[in-house]
Amino acid sequence: MATGAAPRAEPLALVNEGLGNSSYLVALGDGRALAVDPERDPGPYLAAAESRGLTIAFAAETHLHADFVSGSLELAAHGAQVLAAAEGGSGFSHRALRDGDELDLGGLRLRALATPGHTPEHLSYLLLDGDRPAALFSGGSLLVGAVARTDLIAPERTEELARALWRSLQERILTLPDDLPVYPTHGAGSFCAAPASAERTTTIGAQRAANPLLAAASEDEFVRLLLDGLGTYPPYFLRLREVNRRGPAVLGPSPAALPALAPEEVRRLTGPGAGAGLVDARPAASFAAGHIPGAISIPLRPAFATWLGWLTDPDRPAVFVLEPGQDRAGLIRQARNIGYERLAGELAGGMAAWQAAGLPVRQISVVRASEVTGPVLDVRQAAEYSGGHLPDARHIELGMLTSAEPEPGAGAHPEPGPVTLMCGAGDRAMTAASLLARRGHPDLAVAVGGPGDWAAAHGQPLQTGP
């Protein structure tokens, strides 16, 4: 098999740990740079380029993303040319590429490879140094230990796209040199991956040898393995693809502050009929010790955007409760990255100001996971639950515990009576408890820790399977 060549400078990965995605900045050797699948905030890309004496000349999109708002238009506002698939039908100025189209980057060339599967219009980009393959930006086609899911377009197209992905892999990607570096967009922690390794980059040969989906003996087996591994995903995936096709609003770098709202203003904005949602982004322990009745607990952490998008309405203004020292700019960046732009502000003075105003406060009990007794509701993803849970624990994924009352018999709420919420550490369990408290469930506790802590303390094995 032919031998690849390393790029002149290894692409710089800019990783979003919360969404599980990687963007790349590629130095082109003439003071210019290429950005691949940039996220919405242009700041990190512009800063990385400036620190290296580069100007971002191109922003390449492998596909219409469902899990984040693209930042290519943000970079276009700073002079970059946007490269995107012609079949995507993007409604903004861009250079439309089809299979085999090449772009001269000044010594390097970028070749578009049609690799439908994850999405119908999906392109991978082969970077060539002369005639030698130097790097493959595989987007959502070939991942590390996985491939990207094919069920984000429409249920009736899932198998069709899985078969298209098999052909893309066999006929386009696996024909490339074994030592060719591969830079995927989706990775560990991404709901687009099905499933994924903790590694972010790989080579063609490494995936040929170790990727379980590539070991499938036939197209039918590949499709079965892929579809069997699909889990749930956040509902905002269903709208961001169209946002990216039309072209998102250009907002510029995230601001450093949220507007400050007095306690009475927060009460007015979030009261009955007022329309604003109330998100408490403090750590779970702080929420348990005292919170505003009706607030949803979504601790500010790398996965904040996922749960904000999964559990709240982007069309409602959002009011936040935070503690001193928390990263306000990071919160805004995460929210904007999934298309949440109606950020009304934060409670000025935090919970201390709310309590000083004599306004009501609620608490939620916490218990060490090792000391949990009685009914348990495990709110982790199905694969996590199947891998090991407390004996007789009931299972409902956090994403199913919406703030609205479910239909009778829907199974998305616990039985009446005392219940302890459990996840892997406590953050998701506290979010679940906040949703159930909004619904009026009176006897809730949250486990700090996870099933492994209980098993270690009791010397008992966890129960496996659904």
Percent of the chain surpassing pLDDT 70: 93
pLDDT for res 405: 45
Classified as helix, coil or strand, 372 is coil
pLDDT, tens digit, 9 for 90 and up, residues 78-102? 999 999 999 999 999 999 999 999 9
pLDDT confidence band for 366 (50 / 70 / 90): very high
Pairwise CA distance, residues 168 & 172, whole Å: 5
Q: Is the pLDDT of residue 4 over 90?
A: no
Residue 108 contacts residue 134 (beta carbons within 8 Å): yes
pLDDT for res 145: 92
pLDDT for res 272: 85
Region 326-353 average pLDDT: 96
Q: Is the pLDDT of residue 113 over 90?
A: yes
CA 196 to chain centre: 13
Pairwise CA distance, residues 460 & 458, whole Å: 5
Domains of the chain plus CATH, in order, are 12-246 (3.60.15.10), 260-353 (3.40.250.10), 365-458 (3.40.250.10)
pLDDT, tens digit, 9 for 90 and up, residues 395-411? 999 999 974 444 433 44
pLDDT for res 407: 41
Average pLDDT of the chain to the nearest whole number: 92
Torsion sign (Cα): 53, 55, 60, 61: positive
Torsion sign (Cα): 240, 244, 246, 251: positive
Q: Is the pLDDT of residue 58 over 50?
A: yes
Strand order in the sheet with 181-184: 102-104, 108-114, 123-129, 132-139, 181-184, 202-203
pLDDT for res 415: 65
Residue 324 contacts residue 28 (beta carbons within 8 Å): no
Q: Which of 370, 376, 362 is nearest to 429 (CA)?
A: 376
Classified as helix, coil or strand, 82 is strand
CB atoms within 10 A of CB 199: 13
pLDDT for res 200: 86
Taking each helix axis from N to C terminus, what angle separates 158-168 and 219-228, rounded to the nearest 10 degrees?
Answer: 120
pLDDT, tens digit, 9 for 90 and up, residues 275-296? 899 999 999 999 999 999 999 9
Q: Is the pLDDT of residue 193 over 70?
A: no
pLDDT for res 148: 94
pLDDT for res 427: 97
pLDDT for res 274: 83
HSE value, Cβ hemisphere, 13 Å, CA-based, for 183: 24
Position with higher pLDDT, 414 vs 387: 387
Helix%, strand%, coil% for the chain, nearest 5:
30, 25, 50
> Is the preceding peptide bond at 195 cis, omega within 30 degrees of 0?
yes
Q: What is the pTM of this model?
A: 0.90
